[in-house]
Chain A
Amino acid sequence: MDFIAGLLANRIVAAILVVIAVPAVLVGYIALIEAIVSRLGRRWSGAIRPWLWMAPALAFLGVFLVYPTIATIIRSFQNRRGDAFIGLDNFVWFFTRNDTLIALRNNAIWVVLLPLLVVGIGLLIAVLVDRVRYESVVKSIVFLPLAISFVAAGVIWRLMYDVDPKVGTLNATVKAAGGQPVTWLSSAPLNNVMLILVGVWMFTGFAMVILSAGLKGISTELLEAARVDGANEWRVFRSIILPLLAPTIAVVATTIVIYALKTFDIVFVMTNGNFDTDVIGFRMYKELFNNTQPGRAAAVAVVLLIAIIPVMFVNIRRFRQQEAVR
């Protein structure tokens, strides 16, 4: 045992083992159940086979998704130490405290502004760049921010917004134009918008790529027919492109809405929740780690879960409709 533990302590060896062992185990498992199922007669094998194939994935989901969700929901009804049930007290706390309500308000702003700006700008770029020769260059540049971590983006933009004109690009521009440096991050409510702009910078590439793919799926004959009939570009966009792109836009918008509800890193790195920029995700972190109040943190998580349910509902309905069309 010690030899294996020693071997695993070496990270390269551990990495190779994991990368080889996990697929090997999965393939071995599939081979095993195939061997078993093929023994069972036609009637049984048809019924059991799908479940056996899905078993590893279901087990994974069960342990890492279903169990924590149920445990968190139960925890949200318990007190700090976790040994007694206190009913809805944690939720009452959430909805009656000033600071948590500010966090809720801020998330509402994020949920409205972020998808609007991301989808709007993404769509604009996708449509404009569609008929230009250097399309892939522009798309690569716009997509690049998505490749970096949220924390890195937070650090970058924190420097950009810095109050000192020698450090902050924005204030350097303002000063060069003859103005006074603006405290972007500490002036409420402007600072919320500035944080959302960082999110826009990160996600526009994502929206643009997906909308561009959807755009290319619209048959050119349709567009040409409309142009031949005398429709100008704006009319073409409004009456043909938009309706046909509606499902794609919905998917992109719901993804961004989910992110807006979950946002944490940008706020954590840039303002740490100060100056009225707090968000729900950050409150959950604070309650758990700084204030050692796991019951309340669980309640915050449950509120977030409930907020996301309508969005998931829309997504699943959209998905079902697409399946039906197929």
Chain B
Amino acid sequence: MGHRSTAWRRLATVVVTAGLVVACSGGGGTASPGGSAAPTTGGASGAPPASGGSGGTGFQFEQLGGSVSVVGSWSGSEQDSFLAMVKPWEDGTGAKVNYTGSRDLSAQLTAGIASGTLPDLAGLPGPGLMKEWYGQGALKPLDFVDFNAYSSSTPAGFAELGQGDDGKLIGIFTKAAVKGLIFYNVKNWTDPAPATWDELTSAATGKVSGDEKVWCIGVESGAASGWPGTDWLEDIILRQSGPEVYDKWVKGEQKWTSPEIKQAWETFGDALDNSFGGPQYIVNTNFGKAANPMFDDPPGCLFHHQASFITDFFKNEAGAKDGDFDFFPFPDINASFTGSVTGGGDLFGMFNDTPQAQSLVKWLLTAEAQQIWVERGGFISGNKGVPLDKYPDESSKKSAEILQNAQTFRFDASDQFPGAMNDAFFKAVVSFAQDQSKLDSILSELDTVQADAYGG
């Protein structure tokens, strides 16, 4: 009797433990509907979303019910904002949005495509992968979107970036970012914005002394280390060699060893030489903390080159407040290529064509929806229908204005590269920042990857 009851007791323990372990493990792996959806009213200041009569665009909500699963790279407060943005849609259609955040979109979606378990809508890592997945038949075309209306409400060239090679719309932009902004601490720089790169370097070099340098640069970022340097190079190439060279470079038709590209790297190298902390600091400091010396007393540097979203990091990492910092756009390098703006954005695509997914896509494109997140801060909308006075702080307003008035707008080049090229580009930046004398071998290695990545 004793032996048998111990055996049963053991079995019961195993069952209960296993049950607890499985129940407690989060819904990992491929996007499972009903996974860790954050509370939809997370910390919102209660301001009713612009649904009071849906003034303005008058989006037509139809009663749909059901649900739509969404996977994106937003978490924390960004996730809360996204959920606030879709709340009016949920209320209007009676459908539920099941959102899961993921830091490794390309791995999760590649595995999802192979296994057939995919969310209805998903954030896409970039136009390059978007086209690959469309070519595999995983992403569905968004034929139900009025392309002309979409294209005319966004800056020139923006809407076209979501098109496949056959002209169909596959991806839409939900969130935009302006890149190539030069931030400074208002206490340390009071001159007007320099008009050219040469003016900037001579004025800045004249101002700094002792340990203080002109730039604060940090390229560390885990799996994507090196990306801040790629933004630098894109800005330089666009302004130094012009949009045609930039476009050829994006398509893989401009060699990395060509004089135009090499010159851009050398210009970047000059900035690196004049950076706080030297190569080891640059290579080991996370991009979010890189600008901290700019707010120190005495300051470690004058300028920090980044995209518009960095303001959140100034406040959280460096303890700066609104009004401590300001920015001006990256100045012209070559007078014939003026008014250039580089930017990025979060693309969304549809894997499963359902009525709920279609309706949500159309909602996300409206100025009304975008305005919700704009008002919460940390978000630039590509939609010109969002009035500028809705932006909660001066720098977002300025950035949005720059985006909407750009003469020559170009989307971030590295996001458009094929995956392998992008990866090699990031690594090249890290190697170059560590040791500039290796430039020639770095560039010829990039050429090898280019021939391979664009060819296959």
Q: Which residues of A contact B (CB under 8 A)?
A: 9, 11-12, 14-16, 18-20, 80, 97-98, 163, 183, 185-186, 268, 272, 274-275, 285-286, 288-293
Contact = CB atoms under 8 A, between A and B. Distances in A.
B419 A183 contact: no
A309 to B, nearest CB: 28
7 contacts: A11-B22, A12-B19, A80-B456, A98-B445, A268-B223, A286-B423, A292-B129
Nearest to A14: B22
B287 to A, nearest CB: 14
- Tell me which of A19, A97, A163, A292 has the highest count of chain B C-beta atoms within 10 A of its own C-beta: A292
B434 to A, nearest CB: 7
A254 B244 CA distance: 57
A16 B280 contact: no
Contacts of A288: 110
B435 to A, nearest CB: 11
A163 B218 CA distance: 13
A290 B422 CA distance: 9
Contacts of B18: 15, 18-19
B15 A16 contact: yes
Contacts of A97: 448
Residue from A9, A16, A274, A285 having most chain B Cβ neighbours under 10 A: A274
Contacts of A15: 18-19, 21-23
Contacts of A268: 223
A186 B284 contact: yes
- Counting contact residues on chain B (CB < 8 A from A), the size range is 20 to 34
Contact of A16 (B19, B418, B445): B19
B223 A272 contact: yes
Q: 9 nearest interchain CB pairs? A: A15-B22, A291-B420, A15-B19, A289-B107, A12-B23, A19-B18, A163-B284, A290-B419, A272-B223
Contacts of B15: 16, 19-20
B445 to A, nearest CB: 7
B430 to A, nearest CB: 6
A53 B38 CA distance: 48
A290 B426 CA distance: 13
A293 B110 CA distance: 11
Contacts of A286: 423
Given A12-B19, A293-B456, 12 more contacts: A12-B23, A14-B22, A20-B15, A163-B285, A268-B223, A272-B222, A274-B225, A288-B110, A289-B111, A291-B420, A292-B110, A292-B132
Nearest to B452: A93
A12 B110 contact: no
Nearest to A97: B448
B19 A186 contact: no
Given A12-B19, A186-B434, A19 B14 contact: yes
A274 B34 contact: no
Contacts of A80: 456
B106 interface: yes
B453 interface: yes
B152 to A, nearest CB: 34
Nearest to A287: B420
Identify which of B34, B132, B430 gathers the most chain A CB atoms within 10 Å of its CB: B430
B304 interface: no
A69 B23 CA distance: 32
B427 interface: yes
B225 A19 contact: no
A218 B19 CA distance: 42
Nearest to B107: A289
Nearest to B422: A290
Contacts of A275: 430, 434
B283 interface: yes
A323 to B, nearest CB: 31
Contact of B430 (A9, A98, A163, A274): A274
Main secondary structure of the interface of A (DSSP, over half): helix
A288 B445 CA distance: 21
A9 B34 contact: yes
A116 B294 CA distance: 47
B280 A183 contact: yes
Nearest to B285: A163
B103 to A, nearest CB: 12
Nearest to A9: B34
B427 A274 contact: yes
A167 B284 CA distance: 13
A185 B434 CA distance: 13
Given A19-B14, A98-B445, A290 B280 contact: no
A272 B221 CA distance: 10
B385 to A, nearest CB: 36
A274 B21 CA distance: 36
A292 B284 contact: no
A36 B328 CA distance: 84
A14 B27 CA distance: 13
Interface in B87-142: 106-107, 110-111, 129, 132
A285 B106 CA distance: 12
B275 to A, nearest CB: 16
A19 B19 contact: yes
A173 B383 CA distance: 53
Given A292-B132, A293-B420, A11 B23 contact: yes
A19 B456 CA distance: 47
Contacts of B420: 290-291, 293
A15 B25 CA distance: 11
Contacts of A14: 22
A320 to B, nearest CB: 34
Interface in B1-58: 14-15, 18-19, 21-23, 34
Nearest to A12: B23
A274 B427 CA distance: 7
B111 to A, nearest CB: 8
Contacts of A12: 19, 22-23
B19 A291 contact: no
Contacts of A185: 284
Interface in B270-305: 280, 283-285
Nearest to B17: A19
Nearest to B223: A272
Contacts of B445: 98
B261 to A, nearest CB: 20
A289 B106 CA distance: 7
A292 B419 contact: yes
B453 A291 contact: yes
B456 A186 contact: no
B217 to A, nearest CB: 15
Nearest to A182: B280
